[in-house]
Structure 1
Amino acid sequence: MSKKVAILLHGVGSNGADMAPLASHWQQQVKDVLWLTPNAPFHSDMGNGYQWFSLQGITNANRPERIAAARSAFDAQLNTLFSQYDIDPRHDRVVLVGFSQGAMMSLDALVSARYPLTGVVAFSGRLASPMPYQIKQAVPVLLVHGLSDPVVPHTESASAATALTALGHKVSSQFEPGIPHTISASGVTAAASFIKHCFE
């Protein structure tokens, strides 16, 4: 029987432990899932926590190359988890759940088609991966973004929805009035339902 695996990817300056309460909450609602909350591979430039790639000198122009350069360390982190927990993404079902920079890396894994994913949840993220995008299979995607996000504009998720739909993915979006750069209670509820559906 294939495993059901959800990997939660934190934002810059955070760590896997910050995502663990979210995993514990979902564990009560979505049964028989292996919930993993790794640290990003690099210490944060901010002095606290970890990061998937550096924000020093980041611009819209150089962000895609930063993401591409982060792939090898990202893949190494996931492959360590796959080895540690005897996960084979070709046969087991893997959902990526990312917040902010973790959402960007989750969406990058999707549009680079490096893994056969079962689903992707991106909170407060953006699709900033270098083109061309690739698709090997249609994947369900949930994009959740606060309309009052001062860090990553909600228009980034709207743009991501358009691009991912054009690729052939099955995209759902939830834009939340008054919510800043965070994971809201309604976002948590929507994601739980989405993840459960992915594993059905």
Structure 2
Amino acid sequence: MKHDHFVVQRPDKPAQQLLLLFHGVGDNPVAMGEIGSWFAPLFPNALIVSIGGAQPYGSTGGRQWFSVQGVTEQNRQERVDAIMPVFIDIVRYWQQQSGVSPQATALIGFSQGAIMSLESIKAEPGLASRVIAFNGRYASVPEVATTATTVHLIHGGEDRVIELSHAVAAQEALIRAGGDVTLDIVEDLGHAIDDRSMQYALDHLRFTVPKHYFDEALSGGKPHDDDVIEMI
């Protein structure tokens, strides 16, 4: 399946986890790959790939998933839905190529990449076990959610591109719908990722136990041994 991508890390042995990164509007997979380099030392057995948006962004050489020209609260969902099958196919392609299951897949996005990651779980529940959304939002908040995916919202407190209120609304909607979600607010940070944002993300992947583990334990089940969490 042909698409723009940059492999940040490919382990020598078969991958145990799959971390897919998705950049913001006008960026590129190589630049977003720098974020992936933070995860590589802590997840040496993970295949880490930065994925480029499916559409060109003007003549800059950057990429995007959907155009933000004239985007509104009314038409954003339509634009997301139009490109979502391509996004989901790319995630499944890398799961197939790596042999890694959805239970050991994490989608990590910034801005528009976070929007697509969040919306993909809404469109295809169970596509991945974790979503890390840096300064993102839903096109429209979900009315239904499962604990198959743990969503980690990490947002700049001073973001003026995607207001913090969108992350708060996402958290509230997921809780209402019975989902599994965390929200970390990075004080004095705008529309960006900094060291504090990254530490939240790394800590969640390593130490936050998904809610569905507790549900499975209560029902007598056992957690999967390939989830993206070191302690399990």
Structure 1: distance between partners of 2:59 and 2:178: 37
Contact 1:113/1:136 (<8 A) preserved:
no
Structure 1 residue 158 displacement after superposition: 0.6
SS in 2 for 1:57: coil
Q: Is 1:96 the counterpart of 2:107 in the alignment?
A: yes
Q: Which one is further off, 118-127 or 66-75? A: 66-75
Please name the residue that 2:121 is paired with.
110
Q: Is 1:26 the counterpart of 2:39 in the alignment?
A: yes
SS in 1 for 2:167: helix
Please name the residue that 1:143 is paired with.
153
Q: Which letter maps to 1:167?
A: A
**Structure 1 length-normalised TM:** 0.89
Structure 2: distance between partners of 1:192 and 1:140: 14
Contact 1:2/1:93 (<8 A) preserved:
no
Please name the residue that 1:71 is paired with.
84
**Structure 2 length-normalised TM:** 0.77
Unaligned runs of 5+ in 2: 1-13, 208-227
Name which of 38, 54, 66 aligns with 1:41. Answer: 54
Once the two structures are superposed, what CA deviation does each residue of 1:55-97 show, in whole Å capped at 9, x if it has no partner? 11101111111111111221232233234334443xx511111
* Residues 134 and 2 of structure 1: CA distance in aligned 2, closer, same or farther (over 3 Å): farther
Structure 1 residue 114 displacement after superposition: 4.3
Please name the residue that 1:80 is paired with.
93
Q: Is 1:170 the counterpart of 2:180 in the alignment?
A: yes
Contact 2:171/2:183 (<8 A) preserved:
yes
Q: Which one is further off, 105-114 or 141-150? A: 105-114
Contact 1:148/1:177 (<8 A) preserved:
yes
Contact 1:113/1:134 (<8 A) preserved:
no
Q: Which letter maps to 2:67?
A: S
Contact 1:148/1:180 (<8 A) preserved:
yes
Q: Which one is further off, 153-162 or 68-77? A: 68-77
Once the two structures are superposed, what CA deviation does each residue of 1:19-70 show, in whole Å capped at 9, x if it has no partner? 2122122111233222111111111147341001111110111111111111
Name which of 135, 139, 143 aligns with 1:124. Answer: 135
SS in 2 for 1:29: coil
Contact 1:109/1:115 (<8 A) preserved:
no
Unaligned runs of 5+ in 1: none
Could you say which structure has the larger radius of gyration?
2
Structure 1: distance between partners of 2:168 and 2:59: 28
